[in-house]
Amino acid sequence: MRRFFVVGHRASTDPRFSLDDLAGGAGRMDILLNAANAALLLAHDLRRDVEVGLLLLGPPTPPRFVRLVGFRLKSYQPDIRSNAALIRRALVDVSRVEAESSPGVYGSIATFAEALDRLGPTFVLLKEGGKDIRVASLPADATFVLSDNQELLAEEERLLTDRGALVVGLGPVALHTDHAIALVQNELDRRGA
């Protein structure tokens, strides 16, 4: 199983966030949805062996955790507006216990640390300046951790360090979150992992 965890520091937790303002009023929800697409989509299929965790930390009721499980997804589209509607539905039920709001989409209340514990078992923090992925040995079944357009907070990085996360870089320039995921997928595909 390949897992990607993306932190949306301002991503809306309002189940009525506007589908017409994903990059603005919804707190850069577009970044999370493009990241999910990069993790889950192939040209003509879904990657069934991928799980995506999205942590939404924007107002009004953070923290909320949405998990997309590739092998169970049914109505997942390349169109991020349609997928934003799946996220909205996952935000309706406010509970610490995960609920499947549509096939393969699970919503719950979870902190950064709790989300890590539901993903795992090993972690790779993708960060500029980390060990070059071309020479890094990647743990099996790792969860790859990325941020949105903001740096991870020091406390978030500490929680990853405490869990023994490997810090891996993808080259000399800062990439968009979805492009970083595409490079990781390509590397894993090439390794046959």
Q: Which residues would be at the binding site for ligand SAM (CB under 6 A)?
A: 126-128, 130, 146-147, 149, 151, 169-171, 173-177, 180
Question: Which C-beta is closer to ligand SAM: that of 73 or that of 165?
Answer: 165
Rounded Cα gap, residues 18 and 44, in angstroms: 29
Query: Are 11 and 54 a contacting pair, CB within 8 Å?
Result: yes
Q: Which helix (H) or strand (E) holds 131?
A: strand 122-132
Rounded Cα gap, residues 125 and 83, in angstroms: 25
For 17-34, the DSSP string reads --TT-TTTTTSSHHHHHH
Number of residue whose CB is nearest ligand SAM: 147
Distance of CA 125 to the CA centre of its chain: 12
Q: What angle do CA 163, 167, 168 make, to 5 degrees?
A: 140
Question: Which C-beta is closer to ligand SAM: that of 90 or that of 146?
Answer: 146
Please state the closest distance from residue 181 (CB atom) to ligand SAM, in A: 8
Please state the closest distance from residue 7 (CB atom) to ligand SAM, in A: 8
Please state the closest distance from residue 124 (CB atom) to ligand SAM, in A: 10
Question: Which C-beta is closer to ligand SAM: that of 92 or that of 174?
Answer: 174
Question: Which C-beta is closer to ligand SAM: that of 73 or that of 180?
Answer: 180
Please state the closest distance from residue 74 (CB atom) to ligand SAM, in A: 29
